[in-house]
Amino acid sequence: MSPEQDQGSRLLVPGWRRYVLALSLGILSALALPPLYAVPLLWPGLAGLALLNFTARDMRIAAFEGWLFGLGWFGVGLYWIGYAFLVDAEQFAALMPVAVIGISVGMALYMAMASAAVNTLMRRGAGGPMVLVPVFAGCWTLSEWLRGILLTGFPWNPLATVWGLSPEMMQPAAYVGALGVSFLTACVFAAPAVLFVRQSSTLGHMSARQKMMAMAMSLLLPLMWGIGAYRLSAAGLLTRDDVVLRLVQPAIDQKLKWRPDLRQQHVLRQMAMSKRTAGPAVTPTDVIWAETNVPFLIEPGSEVPASLAAAVPKDGHLFFGAPRRDAAGRYFNSMFVIDDDGDVVASFDKFHLVPFGEYVPLRDWLPVEKLVAGRGDFTPGPGPQTIKVEGLPAFSPVICYEIIFSGNVVDSDNRPEWILNITNDAWFGPSSGPYQHLVQAQFRAIEEGLPVVRAANTGISAVIDPFGRVRNQLALEKQGVVDAPLPEAIAQTLSSKLAHLGGFLLAVFAVLSSYTKRINARIHKRD
């Protein structure tokens, strides 16, 4: 073992054992994600990855070990994608392992880049041993940021989502966004790595006192909880007395949804659920159906919206999802709002489409078809919008996984009063996917200071207040309705005012801290 490599660790061994360890740590860490929430496993998981990053012989080895960690992390965290390939098993089942492994391999490249960056910065010894943990956390967070924007973006399961079990731990997102919560979380769980760092030519000498000071970053854990508890202690629950929403969750099996002989039956079931008598103190003013839960194509002059008028409360509205084709022959995944006369008063087209689900990238070269029923690709809509219909506060519609894109769910120039997310998680069965989806909707509520109303075909349908707390919900794969008043919005959050760049800036400053020693040396040299 070279002196450059080992002197950094009492625990790690060279060669293939490091590679097995890296993969195992990724698998272990992923168990902290929803819905298992085995959060303590992040201590060996992230501290172990940090130690691998610090002690790798060179950048290439660090990148490979980071990639192996990412393979375990994403393989466990995204296994649920495979369920979508079983809906039409005859056509797509053979692609299931290819898809799950393929996306894990690709997403792991972001972990590889982060690990290579950590190793490069530390081997230069630019900032000294005291910045080991913030540099690791900063590189992790920047990799999450890149994952959300490159190649259309897929920011699923940021590290912050491990706190979905604790409203208090989620609250710092109001100030630094979910990305900032990821940074703070990485600092906390990577901190123990410094206890195993020994003197080396790359990391420098780290005294016991310095190690204790670095370990003090673990105190961010009670600090985050304290901030959250204080914020929630002052949080009331104000609701609008004039708006009671009914969320309809029909639990339609995705395999049956588009069958020609059953489509009308699916719609009639939802209409009956929409008109079901509520409790004596509850009268729904508006009804919300899930994404594409009207399995008929809406075209110019279509009579489908008018046929649904019976499901609309008097003087209220029905929100529903359906595919749309315009006069030019383009297809859209859309949301419609109709009044009690059956007239369409508003519509919205999904703008962040799912690759291979709603369109095929590089269609001319790839001999595959999209998973969603119907031939041809969907066309993306124009982007976030604020829609106002009579009798309701202005809202921002988002369809399906558009809710996972922090900073891209509302029109920042025309702030709405609530966010409406319709989705169809029936594609993913009783897996962890719907639970992870819900947690990310909770983070959008906290970041924006806006309630999120979520209607899902098979669940989890929920009403989330602007503090990210789930106030009403229907469990996964349960058929039923939720009647709930609409929570009121709160003042615009700091995260929103900063255009959701708080976490990004924290990460950048942390990475730049690795250069403080070099900068100070140059200043002293000039003096």
Question: What are the extents of the domains in the chain?
Answer: 3-233+500-526, 239-487
Which of 46-60, 115-129, 429-443: highest mean pLDDT?
429-443
What is the pLDDT at residue 514?
A: 77
SS3 of 414-465: the string is CCCCEEEEEECHHHHCCCCHHHHHHHHHHHHHHHHCCCEEEEECCCCEEEEC
Of these residues, 139, 144, 400, 417, which one is catalytic? 400
Q: Distance between CA atoms of 50 and 35, rounded to whole angstroms?
A: 25
Question: Which residues lie across from 484 on neighbouring strands?
Answer: 245
CB-neighbour burial class of residue 374 (10 A; exposed 0-12, middle 13-18, buried 19+): middle
Q: Are strands 317-325 and 480-487 parallel, antiparallel or unpaired?
A: unpaired
First-to-last CA distance in the chain? 41
Q: Name the strand (E) or helix (H) holding 230.
A: helix 220-233
Closest CA to 400 of 376, 428, 430, 375: 428
In the chain, the amino acid numbered 429 is: G
Closest CA to 41 of 20, 80, 72, 11: 72
What digits encode the pLDDT tens for the residues 430-468?
999 999 999 999 999 999 999 999 999 998 999 999 999
Q: Distance between CA atoms of 473 and 44, rounded to whole angstroms?
A: 34
Question: Which residues lie across from 335 on neighbouring strands?
Answer: 321, 348
Q: Does 517 participate in catalysis according to the annotation? A: no
Token pair, residue 83, equals 């369920």
Q: Are strands 239-249 and 286-288 parallel, antiparallel or unpaired?
A: parallel
What is the pLDDT at residue 513?
A: 82
What is the pLDDT at residue 1?
A: 38
Whether the per-residue pLDDT at 250 is higher than 60: the answer is: yes
Mean pLDDT over 91-98 rounds to 83
pTM beyond 0.85, yes or no: yes
Q: How far is CA 25 from the centre of its chain?
A: 22
Q: Does 211 participate in catalysis according to the annotation? A: no
Q: What is the chain's mean pLDDT, rounded? A: 89
pLDDT band at residue 519 under the 50/70/90 scheme? very low
Which of 377-381, 402-406, 519-523: highest mean pLDDT?
402-406
Of these residues, 65, 144, 291, 488, which one is catalytic? 291
Closest CA to 166 of 459, 494, 446, 449: 446
Q: Does 400 participate in catalysis according to the annotation? A: yes
Of these residues, 139, 350, 448, 488, which one is catalytic? 350
What is the pLDDT at residue 84?
A: 84
Q: What is the CATH number of domain 239-487?
A: 3.60.110.10
pLDDT band at residue 99 under the 50/70/90 scheme? confident
Residue 153, phi then psi, degrees to nearest 5: 85, 145
pLDDT band at residue 87 under the 50/70/90 scheme? confident
What is the pLDDT at residue 217?
A: 80
In the chain, the amino acid numbered 354 is: V
